[in-house]
Amino acid sequence: MRTLDWVVLFGWLLCIVGYGLWRGRGSTTVDKYLRAGKEMPWYAMGLSIMATQASAITFISTTGQSYVDGMRFVQFYFGLPLAMVILSATAVPIFHRANVYTAYEYLEQRFDAKTRALVSVVFLVQRGLAAGISLYAPAVVLSVILGWPDRVTTWVMGGLVILYTAIGGIKAVTWADVQQMTVIFAALVLALGMAVFLLPSNVSFSDALTIAGAAGRLNPVTVKFDWNDRYNVFSGLIGGMFLALAYFGTDQSQVQRYLTGKSIGQSRLSLIFNAMAKIPMQFFILFIGAMVFVFFTFEKAPVLFQPVAMKRIESEPRFGGIQDRYSKAFDARRAAAADLLSAKRAHDDASWKAGLERYRAAQTSLDAARKEGAKLAEDKLGIPGFNDTNYIFLSFVTRYLPVGVVGLVLGVIFSAAMSSISGEINSLATVSVIDVYRRYVSKQATDRHYLFVSRAATAFWGIWAVAFASYGSGFGALIEAVNMIGSLFYGGMLGVFVLAVFVKRVGSNGAFFGVLAGEAAIFAAKFFTNISFLWYNVIGCIVVILTGLLISLVEPGGGRTQQGSVEAR
């Protein structure tokens, strides 16, 4: 990091905070603070929804995920466009017409207070956990660059987020997201361009694709069905669709975005925009990771990308042998890559097959040496399951990109983290105030009182996220961790909303106990099977629906729908 990088980095952060504060002015009522007065245009909502997803985790961990496992993670999003179309036809008009602040208010109108309270608590638990992971991502950045403790970083970043989110509310969050996504798109293009530009002069873009393909990094589609495989076309289309339905249809951090829309049509456009743009964006980010892998095929990377761990194990007696095996494997892989490219240009099939075999053997040896290094770091640092995936892209950025560009890319990562966490703590505060505080603690207070409590709740959840983020070093690949946490709860949440919208015969008891049964089934699948987490959403949803139907058949009155009191809002 040079002076210009610091100027670009902190200049961008100050601009984002200042812009958020400026845009958030006028949030003087609860409606304006939590729903922006329902005045947001579709493009602002659409970009804000995308910005919340495109957190720092997306840049730090998705690129690293592609580096170690290829591009098959993109299948995770294959069901998202289908989910967006379904939600545009169902959830958007229902929530708008119900005139609610949160999705869970609707559950009381449809069922009763206990169902609303249960699902609200489920949301607060899962989103409260995910918020900490989202905030941990920038701590990874500064730990790489400055060697600062993660906790110092999270408190600094968390303080900036709390500042403009607590003051400006959802309006500040949304408009800040719009600016961030503009720069995010630019930084993505720049990062890919630099990864290709920095390849050796005799390695073309076509050659880079050849190397990435030989290493199994260009594998966006896996058609083999396997319950235990996290990423294949079936888990993506089915499990991914259920996860997207739950995330965008029941998670307040997303629902709150399109509740700010001027109309049903504007909110629908925001979701359709994401349906069209999300998969190409994730494909692009994963492709960056694949190109970084090719770059490190010719440029020797350290055994471990985590600099603190690398420094600690270098003095260990066992490290000498690991380093020697790693260096030999790297040299063999680079030589095999050169042979592959020569065979490709000569159209020599026999040489190609021989080179491919040597290349993959060398890659296996290199991976084995890295695993030995990770095990040594695990023993030395006392971190179970040590994983340096989240440091790969940052290592490339800080060591090889030119001055100024480093600051820009890191600024994007920081602001992406701020965007994600600001939306999360804003939604957590909304549910805390509307579904808990106003419903059970203080039902008849003034609007000014509820506005004050909303700001206090925002600050509380920001502090909670910072505290929880202190444990982020044990999360492994962050992009998987955040989706894993969501999948433990989303199936139950989705199931109860399916009952509310489509199964009118199911009443409040069926919905309430259905959620409990669905969550029990999900955690049973988690602890007693090896089923991929994407299927948790399907399992939970189906169990909720079946339980609700069963209870509606056996309870008196056939499980008639019990309408909650709208006045209870």
Q: Write down the pLDDT at residue 240.
A: 82
Classify 521 as helix, strand or coil: helix
pLDDT tens figures, 270-279: 999 988 888 8
- How sure is the predictor about 569, in pLDDT bands with cuts at 50, 70 and 90? very low
Burial pattern 108-121, b for ≥16 Cβ within 10 A else e, equals bbbbbbebbbbbbe
The pair of three-digit structure tokens given for residue 236, joined into one six-digit string: 């993506």
What is the reported pLDDT for 567? 40
Q: What is the pTM of this model?
A: 0.80
Q: Is the pLDDT of residue 403 over 80?
A: yes
b vs e for 226-245, b when ≥16 Cβ sit within 10 Å of the residue's Cβ?
Answer: eeeebbbbbbbbbbbbbbbb
3-class SS string, 75-124:
HHHCCHHHHHHHHHHCHHHHHHHHCCCCHHHHHHHHCCHHHHHHHHHHHH
Q: How confident is the model at residue 228 (pLDDT cuts 50, 70, 90)?
A: low
Burial class (CB in 10 A: 0-12, 13-18, 19+), 497: buried
CB-based contact 308:147 (threshold 8 Å): yes
Q: What is the pLDDT of residue 558?
A: 46
List, for residues 346-363, the tens digit of each pLDDT value.
Answer: 888 888 898 899 999 999
Q: How confident is the model at residue 449 (pLDDT cuts 50, 70, 90)?
A: very high
Kindly tell me if the per-residue pLDDT of 77 is higher than 80. yes
Lowest-pLDDT choice from 101-115, 195-209, 374-388:
374-388
Predicted pLDDT at 417 = 75
Angle between helical axes of 3-23 and 405-431 (0-180°, round to 10): 30
Q: What is the mean pLDDT of residues 194-221?
A: 88
- 3-296+398-568: CATH topology is Sodium/glucose cotransporter (1.20.1730)
pLDDT at 73 over 70: yes
Q: Which residue has the higher pLDDT, 251 or 151?
A: 251
pLDDT of residue 565: 41
Distance CA 259, CA 252 (A): 10
* CA 321 distance to own-chain centroid: 38
Sign of CA dihedral 66, 71, 73, 77: positive
pLDDT in the model for residue 54? 64
Dist CA 133 CA 410 (whole Å): 18
Q: Is the per-residue pLDDT at 487 higher than 90?
A: no
As a whole number of angstroms, the distance between CA 103 and CA 94 comes to: 10
3-state secondary structure 215-240: CCCCCCCCCCCCCCCCCCHHHHHHHH
Band of residue 568 on the pLDDT scale cut at 50, 70, 90? very low
- Region of 467 (left: φ > 0; alpha: ψ -120 to 50; beta: rest) is alpha
Residue 115 in tokens: 């169902």
Q: What is the mean pLDDT of residues 173-192?
A: 82
Give 3-55 pLDDT, tens digit per residue. 898 888 888 888 888 887 887 777 888 888 888 888 888 888 888 888 776 66
In the chain, domain spans: 3-296+398-568, 321-386
Q: What is the pLDDT of residues 371-401, one digit of tens each?
A: 999 889 888 877 677 778 878 888 888 888 8
